[in-house]
C-alpha cells in the first residue's frame, strides 16, 4: 500500500520532495499546500494531488497518511504540533525551529504522542557519508578518533535572509552538527570561532560568513567543522573519519569523468556540483524511503525530533562559544 503524502511548502526543496514522492512506488502525492497557491497548483499539475493554499485543509482532509513539511522554518513547530495531534507522521525539513525554547515546548507532545516525527537531515542518506559511517562501524579504521567535516556553500545568501536565519550555526552548520552526531553521539564540549571576512550581510547582522567548530566527545574523539558561506569551486562537501588503522574519506562529487592536461596544468577537472539539490539528489530519495519505513513501523534510519533538537543545542552552544570566546559544555543527547 502506498503512503499518501500531504506536502506543505512548494519551494525548491518542496519540489524535490514532490518529485521523489511521485516517483516512489511506496508513496503518492495526495495533497499539496502552499499559501502561494500558484506553487501548489504547479506541483499538483506535474505530480498529481489536490492543491490548496491552506495547510489546515490538507491536514484535515482525511486523504493523507503522512505530512512532509517543507514550508518556512517559523511554521515548523505549529505544523508538527497539528500533525501529531491528528496522528499524522511528519517528515519535517530542518531545523525544527531557531529557538530552542519553542522546540522544548513541543518536545513532550512529540514524545507522548507516539507519532513518528522525522527530521530532514538529508546528508545522513548520502551514499558517501552513510557508507563511511557503516565502514567505521564495521571497524575498518578502528575506533573513531577524529572527524573532519568541510562544508562550504557556493555563495552567501542575501542580507535579508541572513537577518532572519538565526545565524550561520543554526542555519548552515546545523547540517554539520547533525553529521558530527551521526558519527559521535556523545559530544560534551563545543568551541567555535567565527569571522565575517567577505560578506556584508553577515557583517551587518552580526553574523559570521566563515567559521570553525570543534566538538569534543566524551570518548575523547574530536570533530572539526570547517565552514564558509562561499566556495568558488562549487558546493564543497568533504569528510574524513580518522582512527588508529587509517582513514575513510568522502571526496567532492565530480561532475564529469573528463580531465584536461596541457602545458599549463595537468589532470584538471571541471568544477563540482553547484549545490545541494544536485549533490544530494540520491540522499533525498533515500531519506523519503527511510521515512516510509519509519511510518510503517519497520527498521528505519530516519533522524528524529530528538536529533533535530540535539543539533540545535550544538548550534546554540557554538553561537555562545564564538561570541563569549569560551568552550561551552553540552549534555550529550539521551
Binding residues (CB under 8 A) for its own copies: these are 127-128, 131-132, 135, 140-141, 143, 145-146, 148, 150, 152, 189, 191, 193, 195-198, 210-212, 214, 216, 219-222, 224, 226, 228, 230, 232-234, 242, 244-254, 256-272, 325-327
Pull the grid cell for residue 25. Answer: 512506488
Distance in Å, CB of 5 to its own copies, minimum: 21
CA distance 240 to 179: 12
**Sign of the dihedral through C-alpha 49, 53, 54, 57:** negative
Nearer to its own copies, 301 or 327 (CB): 327
Who's near 330: CB < 8 A, 6+ residues apart?
187, 188, 189, 190, 313, 314, 317
Minimum distance from residue 234 beta carbon to its own copies (Å): 8
As a whole number of angstroms, the distance between CA 206 and CA 194 comes to 10
Q: Whole-number minimum distance, CB 186 to its own copies, in Å?
A: 12
Residue placing its CB nearer to its own copies in the complex, 219 or 304: 219
Nearer to its own copies, 23 or 111 (CB): 23
Nearest to 314 by CA among 204, 130, 185: 185
**Residue 245 CB, nearest distance to its own copies (Å)?**
5
Least distance from its own copies to the Cβ atom of residue 258, Å: 5
Shortest CB 191 distance to its own copies, Å: 5
Q: Other CB atoms closer than 10 Å to residue 121's CB: what's the count? A: 25
Q: Give, to the nearest 10 degrees, the angle between helix 12-23 and helix 281-295.
A: 60
CA angle 280, 282, 283 (to 5 degrees): 60
Contacts with 51 (C-beta within 8 Å, 6 or more apart), sequence order: 31, 32, 33, 34, 37, 40, 41, 43, 44
Which residue number, 266 or 299, has a Cβ lying nearer to its own copies? Answer: 266
Tell which residue, 297, 318, 183, has the closest CA to residue 242.
183
113 or 195, CB closer to its own copies? 195
Amino acid at each position: 500500500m502506498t503512503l499518501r503524502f500531504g506536502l506543505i511548502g512548494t519551494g525548491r526543496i518542496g519540489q524535490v520532495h514532490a518529485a521523489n514522492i511521485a516517483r516512489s512506488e511506496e508513496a503518492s502525492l495526495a495533497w499539496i499546500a502552499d499559501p502561494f497557491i500558484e506553487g501548489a497548483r504547479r506541483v499538483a499539475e506535474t505530480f498529481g494531488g489536490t492543491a490548496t493554499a491552506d495547510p489546515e485543509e490538507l491536514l484535515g482532509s482525511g486523504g493523507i497518511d503522512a505530512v512532509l513539511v517543507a514550508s518556512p522554518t517559523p511554521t515548523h513547530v505549529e505544523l508538527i504540533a497539528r500533525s501529531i495531534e491528528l496522528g499524522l507522521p511528519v517528515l519535517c525539513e530542518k531545523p525544527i525551529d531557531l529557538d530552542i525554547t519553542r522546540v522544548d515546548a513541543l518536545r513532550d507532545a512529540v514524545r507522548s504522542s507516539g507519532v513518528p516525527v522525522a527530521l530532514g537531515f538529508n546528508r545522513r542518506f548520502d551514499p558517501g557519508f552513510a557508507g563511511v559511517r557503516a565502514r567505521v562501524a564495521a571497524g575498518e579504521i578502528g575506533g573513531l578518533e577524529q572527524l573532519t567535516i568541510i562544508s562550504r556553500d557556493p555563495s552567501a545568501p542575501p542580507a535579508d535572509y541572513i537577518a532572519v536565519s538565526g545565524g550561520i550555526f543554526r542555519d548552515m552548520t546545523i547540517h554539520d552538527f547533525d553529521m558530527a552526531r551521526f558519527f559521535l553521539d556523545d559530544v560534551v564540549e563545543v568551541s567555535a570561532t567565527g569571522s565575517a571576512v567577505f560578506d556584508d550581510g553577515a557583517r551587518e547582522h552580526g553574523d559570521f560568513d566563515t567559521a570553525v567548530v570543534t566538538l569534543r566527545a566524551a570518548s575523547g574523539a574530536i570533530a572539526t567543522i570547517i565552514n564558509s558561506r562561499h566556495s568558488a569551486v562549487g558546493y564543497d562537501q568533504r569528510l574524513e573519519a580518522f582512527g588508529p588503522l587509517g582513514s575513510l574519506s568522502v571526496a567532492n562529487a565530480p561532475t564529469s569523468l573528463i580531465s584536461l592536461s596541457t602545458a599549463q596544468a595537468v589532470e584538471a577537472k571541471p568544477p563540482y556540483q553547484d549545490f545541494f539539490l544536485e549533490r544530494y539528489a540520491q540522499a533525498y530519495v533515500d531519506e523519503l524511503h527511510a521515512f516510509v519505513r519509519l511510518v510503517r513501523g519497520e527498521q528505519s534510519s530516519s533522524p528524529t525530533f530528538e536529533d533535530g533538537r540535539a543539533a540545535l543545542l550544538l548550534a546554540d552552544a557554538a553561537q555562545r562559544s564564538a561570541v563569549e570566546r569560551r568552550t561551552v559544555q553540552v549534555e550529550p543527547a539521551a
